[in-house]
Amino acid sequence: MKNGIYKENIIIDKTLWLVGEDSDKVIIDGGGQDFTIIVKAERVIITRFTIMGESSKRGIIGRGVGLKLHRANRSRIVKM
User: Domain-by-domain residue ranges, the chain?
Assistant: 4-78
Sequence-ordered list of residues with C-beta below 8 angstroms from that of 2, at least 6 positions apart, any chain: 21, 26
Asked if residue 69 has pLDDT above 90, the reply is no
User: Cα 74 to chain center, whole Å?
Assistant: 16
Q: What's the pLDDT at 1? A: 92
Residue 64: pLDDT over 70: no
Residue 22 pLDDT > 70, yes or no? Answer: yes
Computed over every residue of the chain, the mean pLDDT equals: 84
CB-CB neighbours of 60 under 10 Å: 13
Asked whether residue 52 carries a pLDDT value surpassing 90, the answer given is: no
Cα dihedral: 64, 67, 72, 76 (round 10): -140
Tell me how far apart the alpha carbons of residues 50 and 36 are, in angstroms, rounded to a whole number.
Answer: 11
